[in-house]
């Protein structure tokens, strides 16, 4: 008998969303229109077959094979109510990337029976040079919108911004992808920002957060994240647009801001975080330096951060000078070496969990400096100090001042550390621990980076690391380089990187061996302790007076 209110037990079961989701996972992707749709042609074929002429490359769908009618839309509505995320990403370099001709989307716009084609759509990604056609899928239910901005004569980006604010007024996440100077759309973008009062996150290409844009963002009540991306897919602006960064902030600016990612001159960033109306709730702060600054400027910035960002948990500083214009040869980047004294103001950030610094020259530190860092931040989860000159010089870099023993304080004082990266001299003598000074292994370390650290042999280094690394710890070699910087590594780095790669390959086997050794040692210690206890019992029996033992050796109870 079916449960009350249901025609059958199956109907009751299918009312449980988790079970339906589990069933749909086992369907062929071509037959599964539910929740997230990454192939827009799969969705549009529910209206009518798509025509792909033989004379065109694969997956170039120019039009429907027939005109759409009301019956097509009635059939489509059954599936449209399921789609929450729609993605259309067309890569012109990929012939297998689906392409929709203008006639396909014009036919949809002409024949649709309702304004909102996908009534519960909350996320729309539209990366195509036909920016105008994204309007077809816009609706008031959309909360996340990512779009490639393509300039064309018949549809200006200013008009596109007006469509965004009018058709998707409740946007909370906005992501713009483009590769032109932001100054050409700055005025229209500022107007758009002012009309999106619910915005929580704005993502732009690098070099696009100008003073006026940041001023417009400062009055949004819910804005939590200002972010840019270096990756090639995001695009890139013009560094000249952020040569001067001096936004004028009013009282109450950035009431909800907690995450800031900016590319700007460091003195400007220092003034930004120390101003009277600076954001006061920051927990994550990333700054990209497009220009070299002296160590004293780094100290001033860190002092300002420590005094004004009391809630900060994550701090990132990257020095990556933008590549020169096309046709101009790259020149080495010269930066004065940093010392721990230049970075010591960091210690005032008591809540810090993550610190990453990439610099164009060596960072001079001693073992005592490392001890101070590790003991001051026992809650560290990610700590990276790396030298990464761009471009990489043709000669090997100067040897770092630290050895592999610099890892020991972190293993001792930082039980939650998950990622550690340091420049060390792995060619130094004494690559071993004695039984006395060998520390307990890292508990949670998952990634250990050495950048371009010098190394002579992989064996001794791997043996030392096996004493302090947990099973599964990944050894990373080479430098972290953002997309678009096109770093070419010279020949002297190849052997070095291969030696570090060999360390990473043999380390898991050695760690397993160490674990087995520890288990055997623990068992032997247990047996030795048991034997010692037995010996003490026998010695105590020998001291008892005559007649105090029974015939079977047990004690008399007096």
154-174 pLDDT, tens digit each: 889 999 999 999 999 999 999
43 and 29 Cβ atoms separated by less than 8 Å:
no
388 or 211: which leads in pLDDT: 211
306 occurs within a structural domain: no
Assess if residue 5 is contained within a domain: no
Q: What is the pLDDT of residues 286-342, one digit of tens each?
A: 999 998 999 999 999 999 999 999 999 999 999 888 777 676 676 777 888 999 999
Residue 130: predicted pLDDT: 85
In a domain, 495, yes or no: yes
What are all long-range contacts of 90-96, with beta carbons under 8 Å and residues at least 24 apart?
90/127, 90/128, 90/129, 92/129, 95/57, 95/58, 95/59, 96/58, 96/59
In a domain, 230, yes or no: no
Establish if 447 belongs to a structural domain: yes
Q: Which domain holds residue 490?
A: 414-539
Separation in Å, CA 393 to CA 56, 121, 409, 482: 47, 51, 32, 18
Is residue 81 classed as helix, strand or coil in its secondary structure? coil
For 70, list phi and psi in degrees, rounded to 5: -65, -35
Q: 224 or 335, which is more confident?
A: 224
pLDDT at 538: 80
Q: What is the pLDDT of residues 45-64, one digit of tens each?
A: 889 988 776 555 656 777 88
Report whether pLDDT(65) > 60: yes
Averaged pLDDT for residues 446-461: 91
Calculate mean pLDDT across residues 79-106. 83
pLDDT attached to residue 45: 87
pLDDT band per the 50, 70, 90 thresholds, residue 395: confident
Residue 547 in domain:
no
- Tell which wins on pLDDT, 490 or 266: 266
pLDDT digits 0-9 by tens, 344-384: 999 999 999 999 999 888 889 999 999 999 999 999 999 99
Within-domain flag for 427: yes
pLDDT value at 15 more than 60: yes
Residues 6+ apart with CB under 8 A from 235: 177, 178, 179, 205
CB atoms inside a 10 Å sphere around CB 302 = 21
Of all residues in the chain, the percent with pLDDT exceeding 70 is 87
Number of domains in the chain: 1
Predicted confidence band at 122 (pLDDT cuts at 50, 70, 90)?
very high
DSSP letter at 11? H
pLDDT, mean of residues 398-427: 92
Provide mean pLDDT across the span 496-521.
91
pLDDT at position 419 is 96
Specify if 418 maps to a domain.
yes
More confident: 350 or 557: 350
332/320 Cα distance (integer angstroms) = 12
Return the CA Rg of the chain: 32
**Would the pLDDT of 25 be above 70?**
no
Q: How do residues 178-190 score in pLDDT, each as one tens digit?
A: 999 999 999 999 9
| CB contact at 8 A, 19 and 9 | no
Q: Give the model's pLDDT for residue 498.
A: 93
pTM summary value = 0.85
pLDDT of 21 over the 80 cut: no
The most confident of 4-18, 21-35, 226-240, 532-546, by mean pLDDT: 226-240
């Amino acid at each position: 008998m079916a449960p009350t209110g249901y025609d059958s037990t199956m109907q009751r079961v299918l009312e449980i969303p988790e079970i339906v989701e589990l069933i749909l996972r086992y369907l062929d992707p071509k037959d599964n229109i539910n929740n997230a749709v990454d192939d827009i042609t799969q969705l549009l074929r529910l209206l009518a077959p798509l025509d792909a002429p033989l004379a065109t490359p694969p997956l170039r769908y120019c039009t429907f094979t027939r005109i759409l009618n009301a019956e097509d839309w009635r059939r489509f509505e059954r599936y449209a109510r399921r789609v929450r995320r729609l993605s259309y990403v067309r890569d012109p370099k990929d012939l297998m990337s689906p392409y929709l001709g203008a006639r396909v989307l014009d036919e949809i716009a002409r024949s649709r029976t309702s304004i909102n084609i996908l009534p519960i759509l909350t996320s729309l990604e539209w990366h195509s040079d036909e920016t105008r056609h994204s309007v077809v899928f816009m609706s008031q239910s959309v909360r996340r919108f990512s779009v490639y901005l393509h300039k064309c004569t018949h549809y200006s980006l200013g008009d596109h911004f007006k469509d965004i604010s009018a058709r998707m007024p409740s946007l909370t996440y906005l992501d713009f992808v483009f590769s032109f100077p932001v100054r050409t759309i700055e005025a229209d973008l500022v107007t758009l920002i002012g009309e999106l009062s619910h915005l929580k996150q704005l993502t732009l290409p690098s070099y696009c957060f100008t003073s006026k844009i940041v001023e417009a963002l400062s009055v949004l009540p819910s804005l939590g994240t200002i972010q840019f991306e270096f990756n090639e897919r995001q695009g890139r602006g013009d560094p000249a647009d952020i040569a001067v960064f001096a936004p004028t902030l009013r009282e109450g600016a950035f009431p909800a801001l907690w995450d800031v990612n900016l590319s700007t001159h460091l003195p400007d960033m220092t003034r930004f975080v120390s101003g009277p109306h600076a954001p006061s709730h920051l927990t994550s702060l990333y700054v990209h330096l497009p220009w070299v600054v002296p160590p004293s400027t780094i100290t001033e910035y860190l002092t300002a951060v420590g005094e004004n960002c009391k809630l900060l948990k994550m701090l990132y500083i990257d020095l990556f000078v933008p590549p020169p214009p096309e046709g101009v040869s790259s020149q080495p980047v010269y930066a004065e070496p940093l010392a721990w004294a230049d970075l010591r103001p960091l210690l005032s950030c008591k809540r810090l969990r993550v610190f990453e610094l990439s610099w164009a020259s060596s960072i001079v530190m001693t073992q005592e400096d490392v001890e101070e860092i590790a003991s001051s931040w026992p809650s560290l989860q990610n700590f990276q100090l790396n030298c990464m000159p761009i471009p990489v010089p043709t000669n090997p870099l100067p040897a770092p001042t630290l050895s592999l023993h610099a890892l020991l304080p972190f293993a001792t004082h930082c039980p939650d550390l998950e990622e550690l990266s340091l420049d060390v001299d792995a060619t130094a003598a004494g690559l071993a621990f004695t039984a006395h000074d060998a520390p307990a292994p890292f508990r949670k370390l998952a990634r250990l980076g050495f950048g371009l650290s010098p190394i002579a042999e992989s064996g001794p280094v791997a043996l030392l690391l096996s004493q302090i690394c947990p099973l599964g710890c990944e050894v990373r070699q080479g430098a972290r380089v953002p997309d678009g910087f096109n770093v070419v590594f010279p020949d002297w780095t190849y052997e070095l990187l291969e030696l570090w790669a060999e360390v990473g390959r043999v380390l898991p086997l050695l760690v397993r061996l160490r674990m087995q050794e520890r288990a055997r040692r623990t068992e032997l210690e247990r047996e030795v302790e048991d034997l010692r206890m037995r010996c003490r019992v026998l010695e105590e029996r020998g001291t008892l007076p005559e007649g105090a033992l029974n015939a079977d050796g047990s004690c008399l109870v007096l």
